[in-house]
Structure 1
Amino acid sequence: MSGYDEFSNLTEDVTVVSKDTELELDESAAVTMWTDGLNAEGATVLAGCDHPHFGQWAAVTTIQAGEGRTTYAGTLPNLPVYGAAEGVGLRGHERIGERPCAQPSWREPQGHGQHGAALLTSA
Protein backbone atom coordinates (compact mmCIF):
# COMPACT_ATOMS: atom_id res chain seq x y z
CA MET A 1 0.00 0.00 0.00
CA SER A 2 1.39 3.39 -0.90
CA GLY A 3 1.50 6.36 1.41
CA TYR A 4 4.07 8.91 2.48
CA ASP A 5 7.03 9.03 4.84
CA GLU A 6 7.07 12.74 5.63
CA PHE A 7 6.07 16.12 4.30
CA SER A 8 7.96 19.37 4.26
CA ASN A 9 7.14 23.00 3.67
CA LEU A 10 9.31 24.43 0.91
CA THR A 11 11.05 27.78 1.20
CA GLU A 12 11.50 27.89 -2.57
CA ASP A 13 10.19 26.03 -5.60
CA VAL A 14 11.91 22.72 -6.39
CA THR A 15 12.39 21.52 -9.97
CA VAL A 16 10.39 18.42 -10.83
CA VAL A 17 11.50 15.99 -13.54
CA SER A 18 9.69 13.31 -15.50
CA LYS A 19 10.31 9.73 -14.39
CA ASP A 20 8.09 8.30 -17.12
CA THR A 21 7.89 9.10 -20.82
CA GLU A 22 4.14 9.67 -20.52
CA LEU A 23 4.50 12.98 -18.68
CA GLU A 24 6.73 15.41 -20.55
CA LEU A 25 8.00 18.18 -18.28
CA ASP A 26 10.17 21.12 -19.28
CA GLU A 27 12.74 22.96 -17.16
CA SER A 28 10.11 25.32 -15.74
CA ALA A 29 8.17 22.48 -14.05
CA ALA A 30 8.34 22.71 -10.26
CA VAL A 31 6.68 21.81 -7.00
CA THR A 32 5.71 24.64 -4.68
CA MET A 33 4.86 25.34 -1.04
CA TRP A 34 5.22 21.77 0.29
CA THR A 35 6.02 18.25 -0.82
CA ASP A 36 5.05 14.85 0.53
CA GLY A 37 7.61 12.04 0.53
CA LEU A 38 5.39 9.64 -1.45
CA ASN A 39 5.97 5.89 -1.39
CA ALA A 40 4.86 4.61 -4.78
CA GLU A 41 4.34 0.95 -3.95
CA GLY A 42 2.01 -0.45 -6.60
CA ALA A 43 1.88 2.83 -8.55
CA THR A 44 3.84 4.21 -11.48
CA VAL A 45 6.02 7.23 -10.71
CA LEU A 46 5.39 9.99 -13.26
CA ALA A 47 7.59 12.68 -11.71
CA GLY A 48 10.07 13.29 -8.92
CA CYS A 49 11.96 16.20 -7.45
CA ASP A 50 15.41 17.08 -8.73
CA HIS A 51 16.70 17.59 -5.20
CA PRO A 52 19.32 15.86 -3.00
CA HIS A 53 16.80 15.03 -0.26
CA PHE A 54 13.31 15.14 -1.80
CA GLY A 55 14.51 13.25 -4.88
CA GLN A 56 14.33 9.96 -2.97
CA TRP A 57 10.51 10.00 -3.18
CA ALA A 58 7.91 10.31 -5.89
CA ALA A 59 6.19 13.66 -6.47
CA VAL A 60 3.47 12.46 -8.88
CA THR A 61 2.17 8.88 -9.11
CA THR A 62 -0.53 7.12 -11.10
CA ILE A 63 -2.29 3.79 -10.69
CA GLN A 64 -4.98 1.92 -12.61
CA ALA A 65 -8.30 1.91 -10.77
CA GLY A 66 -11.06 -0.13 -12.37
CA GLU A 67 -11.61 1.18 -15.88
CA GLY A 68 -9.69 4.39 -15.19
CA ARG A 69 -6.77 5.58 -13.15
CA THR A 70 -5.98 7.88 -10.28
CA THR A 71 -3.04 10.25 -10.42
CA TYR A 72 -1.82 11.87 -7.22
CA ALA A 73 0.52 14.82 -6.80
CA GLY A 74 1.77 15.01 -3.22
CA THR A 75 2.55 18.69 -3.61
CA LEU A 76 1.22 21.85 -5.19
CA PRO A 77 2.49 21.59 -8.76
CA ASN A 78 3.04 24.79 -10.72
CA LEU A 79 1.16 25.55 -13.94
CA PRO A 80 3.68 23.86 -16.30
CA VAL A 81 3.13 20.57 -14.42
CA TYR A 82 -0.65 20.92 -14.72
CA GLY A 83 -0.24 21.74 -18.42
CA ALA A 84 1.81 18.60 -18.99
CA ALA A 85 -0.77 16.55 -17.08
CA GLU A 86 -3.58 17.90 -19.25
CA GLY A 87 -1.49 16.99 -22.29
CA VAL A 88 -1.71 13.30 -21.34
CA GLY A 89 -5.44 13.32 -20.62
CA LEU A 90 -5.47 14.28 -16.95
CA ARG A 91 -7.62 17.16 -15.84
CA GLY A 92 -8.86 19.03 -12.85
CA HIS A 93 -8.10 18.72 -9.20
CA GLU A 94 -9.99 18.54 -5.97
CA ARG A 95 -9.05 18.48 -2.34
CA ILE A 96 -9.07 14.91 -1.11
CA GLY A 97 -7.91 15.26 2.47
CA GLU A 98 -7.36 17.69 5.27
CA ARG A 99 -4.99 18.00 8.16
CA PRO A 100 -3.89 21.02 10.17
CA CYS A 101 -1.22 23.07 8.47
CA ALA A 102 0.73 26.05 9.82
CA GLN A 103 1.05 27.61 6.38
CA PRO A 104 -1.76 28.75 4.06
CA SER A 105 -2.47 26.13 1.46
CA TRP A 106 -3.46 26.48 -2.15
CA ARG A 107 -7.10 25.70 -1.37
CA GLU A 108 -7.28 28.00 1.64
CA PRO A 109 -5.38 31.12 0.50
CA GLN A 110 -6.79 33.44 3.16
CA GLY A 111 -4.90 32.02 6.10
CA HIS A 112 -4.09 28.96 8.14
CA GLY A 113 -6.21 26.01 7.32
CA GLN A 114 -5.83 22.80 5.48
CA HIS A 115 -3.10 20.80 3.82
CA GLY A 116 -4.43 19.88 0.40
CA ALA A 117 -3.29 17.51 -2.28
CA ALA A 118 -3.86 17.47 -6.00
CA LEU A 119 -5.87 14.63 -7.44
CA LEU A 120 -5.86 14.50 -11.23
CA THR A 121 -8.51 12.42 -12.94
CA SER A 122 -8.68 10.80 -16.35
CA ALA A 123 -10.56 12.77 -18.98
Structure 2
Amino acid sequence: MTEKQLFDTIGKSSDFIVKKLPVDKGPSVLIACMEGLSDKDLMDRDIVAHIMSYRYDPNARRQFSDYLKDKLISTCSTKEINDFGEVVVFILSGDAILFTDGLTSLNLF
Protein backbone atom coordinates (compact mmCIF):
# COMPACT_ATOMS: atom_id res chain seq x y z
CA MET A 1 0.00 0.00 0.00
CA THR A 2 1.36 3.36 -0.92
CA GLU A 3 0.71 6.95 0.04
CA LYS A 4 -0.53 7.57 -3.51
CA GLN A 5 -3.07 4.72 -3.22
CA LEU A 6 -4.39 6.24 0.00
CA PHE A 7 -4.80 9.71 -1.50
CA ASP A 8 -6.33 8.30 -4.69
CA THR A 9 -8.93 6.42 -2.62
CA ILE A 10 -9.64 8.82 0.25
CA GLY A 11 -8.92 12.06 -1.57
CA LYS A 12 -6.87 15.10 -0.70
CA SER A 13 -9.09 16.33 2.10
CA SER A 14 -7.49 18.72 4.60
CA ASP A 15 -8.74 16.36 7.34
CA PHE A 16 -6.82 13.39 5.93
CA ILE A 17 -3.34 13.35 7.42
CA VAL A 18 -0.42 11.23 6.29
CA LYS A 19 2.75 11.64 8.30
CA LYS A 20 6.11 10.10 7.35
CA LEU A 21 8.41 9.34 10.26
CA PRO A 22 12.16 8.86 10.05
CA VAL A 23 13.51 5.74 11.74
CA ASP A 24 17.16 5.13 12.63
CA LYS A 25 18.36 2.66 9.96
CA GLY A 26 14.91 1.13 10.02
CA PRO A 27 12.07 0.82 7.55
CA SER A 28 10.04 3.72 6.33
CA VAL A 29 7.04 4.44 8.55
CA LEU A 30 3.83 6.18 7.56
CA ILE A 31 0.87 7.04 9.78
CA ALA A 32 -2.51 7.82 8.20
CA CYS A 33 -5.56 9.15 10.04
CA MET A 34 -8.40 11.65 9.92
CA GLU A 35 -7.76 14.81 11.91
CA GLY A 36 -10.34 15.33 14.62
CA LEU A 37 -11.33 11.66 14.69
CA SER A 38 -8.04 10.25 15.99
CA ASP A 39 -6.56 11.05 19.40
CA LYS A 40 -3.64 13.33 18.48
CA ASP A 41 -2.18 13.39 22.01
CA LEU A 42 -2.15 9.60 22.19
CA MET A 43 -0.52 9.37 18.77
CA ASP A 44 2.17 11.93 19.54
CA ARG A 45 2.94 10.75 23.07
CA ASP A 46 2.59 6.99 22.79
CA ILE A 47 3.04 6.08 19.14
CA VAL A 48 5.23 8.66 17.44
CA ALA A 49 7.49 8.90 20.53
CA HIS A 50 8.15 5.14 20.48
CA ILE A 51 8.89 5.16 16.77
CA MET A 52 11.23 8.14 17.05
CA SER A 53 13.07 6.62 20.03
CA TYR A 54 13.92 3.42 18.13
CA ARG A 55 17.67 2.89 17.71
CA TYR A 56 18.99 0.32 15.29
CA ASP A 57 21.06 -2.47 16.85
CA PRO A 58 22.69 -4.88 14.38
CA ASN A 59 22.97 -7.50 17.15
CA ALA A 60 19.31 -7.35 18.14
CA ARG A 61 17.29 -10.45 17.43
CA ARG A 62 14.02 -8.57 17.11
CA GLN A 63 12.89 -6.97 13.89
CA PHE A 64 11.61 -3.38 13.90
CA SER A 65 8.05 -4.65 13.39
CA ASP A 66 8.34 -6.79 16.56
CA TYR A 67 9.74 -3.84 18.51
CA LEU A 68 6.86 -1.71 17.31
CA LYS A 69 4.17 -4.23 18.21
CA ASP A 70 5.68 -4.75 21.69
CA LYS A 71 5.82 -1.01 22.40
CA LEU A 72 2.38 -0.21 21.02
CA ILE A 73 0.54 -3.10 22.66
CA SER A 74 1.10 -1.44 26.05
CA THR A 75 -0.42 1.88 24.91
CA CYS A 76 -3.24 1.03 22.52
CA SER A 77 -5.08 -1.83 20.88
CA THR A 78 -3.52 -3.05 17.66
CA LYS A 79 -4.53 -5.31 14.81
CA GLU A 80 -2.62 -6.27 11.67
CA ILE A 81 -4.53 -5.55 8.48
CA ASN A 82 -3.65 -6.82 5.01
CA ASP A 83 -6.74 -5.72 3.10
CA PHE A 84 -6.68 -2.23 1.55
CA GLY A 85 -10.48 -1.90 1.79
CA GLU A 86 -10.32 -2.53 5.53
CA VAL A 87 -7.54 0.04 5.88
CA VAL A 88 -9.70 2.71 4.25
CA VAL A 89 -12.73 1.84 6.41
CA PHE A 90 -10.68 2.04 9.61
CA ILE A 91 -9.16 5.40 8.64
CA LEU A 92 -12.58 6.85 7.79
CA SER A 93 -13.90 5.48 11.11
CA GLY A 94 -11.30 7.47 13.06
CA ASP A 95 -8.60 4.88 13.63
CA ALA A 96 -4.97 5.58 12.85
CA ILE A 97 -3.18 3.19 10.54
CA LEU A 98 0.56 2.67 10.66
CA PHE A 99 2.38 1.37 7.59
CA THR A 100 5.93 0.05 7.66
CA ASP A 101 8.13 -2.23 5.60
CA GLY A 102 7.86 -5.75 6.95
CA LEU A 103 4.44 -5.07 8.46
CA THR A 104 1.75 -4.35 5.91
CA SER A 105 -0.34 -2.18 8.19
CA LEU A 106 -1.20 -1.91 11.83
CA ASN A 107 -4.53 -0.55 13.03
CA LEU A 108 -4.15 1.62 16.12
CA PHE A 109 -7.35 2.21 18.05
TM-score, normalising length: structure 2 = 0.31
Of Structure 1 and Structure 2, which has the larger fraction of its residues in helix?
A: 2
Structure having greater relative contact order (Cα 8 Å, sep ≥ 6) = 2
